[in-house]
Structure 1
Amino acid sequence: MASTTLPFAAARQFMVDSQLRPNKVANPVLLDAMRHVPRETFLPPPLWSVAYADQDVQLAGGRVLIAPLAFARLAQLLDPAPGERVLVIGSGTGYAAAVLATCGARVTALDQDQALLDIGRSAIAALGLAVSSQCGPHRDGLPGVQPWDGILIQGKIEFVPEGLAAQLRAGSGRLVTILGKPGQPGVAVLGERQGAQLPLARTFDCTTATLPGFEAVADFQF
């Protein structure tokens, strides 16, 4: 955990050197982005002291800012190339969108919580980053637009809706998220579109707070 007495720039460097590099995060573009994007900017001032802690940071409404290592490994798995179109579902206060935009992706942030989305818009604008944002249901994604090269669902979910596969670019589109039931461990998965299908490959154990909007609906029983 980064000391709260360190200046934020030093805390970012400490995060990269002590949390990310020793734990299989090796993408140099991603590491450089996380070294420069001020994570504290995406939190209310009372939480700045824990911005670089190796843990989820609790936000309003049961939402969290995902721990740096968990986010970094998910972003590395998505591996967006410069210029690729990326949708961040459950963007929250916007940190993931800011990092991916700094990596060169063309990012759209989607969240169903307008208050969190507004925090993200302000923080991203202050950094001069070109990120679009939309308020809407997480589960729906953003249908009816140009297909995405990548989708990051930022939270633990119970299932990946079938309709999201059609929103990915055919042949190269990929989706990254964490699968798991509430209160149980999760696993990071990578889905790569194959025709109309999106087979999911389990990649590494990973857990965080459940993202609302993806609750499984039980079958009706008499």
Structure 2
Amino acid sequence: MDFDALRRTMIESQIRTWDVLDPRVLATVAQVKREDFVPTALRHLAFVDFNMPLEYGEVMWTPKMEARVLQELDLQPQDRVLEVGTGSGYFTALLAKMAGMVHSVEDRADLARPVEGRLQVHGIHNARIAVGDASAGWAQHAPYDAICLTGSLPNLPEAFKEQLAVGGRLIAILGDAPAMTVRRIVQIRPGAFETNDLFETEIPPLRHRAAPPPFIF
């Protein structure tokens, strides 16, 4: 298959039509080989406009959503990024190409382990993969200039806003199926946040800590 031709078609017919016009984002999507990160049996579908299934009920976002979120994060070369939910590692690679350092957290070791190899093959050395539960925040390297939650949550834990640097951008998918919203939050000054709802989608939830039972007197 001519993956380069398919990639160009994907960019023109899916990504640009979703108002993704930042030349840095388009160049990054053109550079990172998406077909190297999808499940082998689905490699021929690497550029199709659908949420590609991964193990354990996880998915890769559609190509247009990956590019749109990358644009909304407005990454700079010095930025420190937190990604919650590593998945296949493709979006990790996109983040790493545009930012200074990416800390990606996956709660399943067998998903996280092969990602490191994929990133090395692509010459990406500024991403660190950790295994753990970051669904309520990940303080180890905070504050972050950008935070992206790749799975959905019913509500956003306050810890993520607390771990965001001033000027930092956060993207989260919030709500319950089928009504989920992709939300962008920017800390414009200490303790003051600007919030915008970007578009609706439906993404499998992050595995997260159950809320404690209510205390009954």
User: Is the structural similarity TM-score above 0.5?
Assistant: yes
Once the two structures are superposed, the pairs formed by residues 108-187 of structure 1 within 5 Å of their partners are 108-130=103-125, 131-169=127-165, 171-181=166-176, 183-187=177-181
Counterpart-to-counterpart distance in 1, 2:33 and 2:172: 23
Q: 1:12 to 1:217 in 2, by over 3 A?
A: farther
Structure 1 unaligned residues grouped into runs of 5+: 1-5
Mapped partners of 2:154, 2:194: distance in 1: 15
1:89 positional shift: 0.7
Of all paired residues, the percent bearing the same amino acid is 29
Partner of 2:182: 188
- CA deviation digits over 1:30-76, x for unaligned, max 9? 11111111112112211111111100011110001111111211111
* Alpha-carbon distance, 1:219 to partner: 4.5
- The CA deviation string for residues 149-198 of structure 1, in whole angstroms up to 9 with x for no partner, is 000111222111111122111x21221121121x3132111112253465
1:78 Cα offset (Å): 0.9
Equivalent pairs, count: 215
State the 4+ residue runs in structure 1 displaced beyond 3 angstroms.
196-200, 214-222
Moved more, 6-15 or 22-31: 6-15
Q: CA–CA distance in 2 between the matches of 1:216 and 1:163?
A: 15
Is residue 90 of structure 2 the alignment partner of residue 92 of structure 1? no
Normalising by structure 1, we get a TM-score of: 0.88
Note if contact 2:82-2:102 (Cα within 8 Å) is conserved in structure 1: yes
Match of 1:73 among 68, 73, 82: 68
Two-structure CA RMSD over aligned residues (Å): 2.1
Matches within 5 A, 1:42-61: 42-61=37-56
Q: TM-score scaled to structure 2, two decimals?
A: 0.90
Structure 2: which 5+ residue stretches go unaligned?
none
